Amino acid sequence: MKTMTCRQLGGPCDLSHRGATADDVIKAQDRHLKEAEKTGDATHQDARNAMKGRWRHPRQSMTWYNDVKATFAGLPDS
Region 34-60 average pLDDT = 92
Question: How high is the pLDDT of residue 37?
Answer: 94
Total domain count for the chain?
1
Rounded to 5°, the CA angle 50-36-4 comes to 65
Residue 71 resides in a domain: no
What percent of the chain lies above the pLDDT cut of 90?
86
**Burial level of 1, CB count in 10 A (0-12/13-18/19+)?**
exposed
Residue 25 resides in a domain: yes
Region 22-32 average pLDDT = 97
Residue 72 resides in a domain: no
Residue 33 resides in a domain: yes
| Cα 18 to Cα 42: distance, rounded to the nearest angstrom | 24
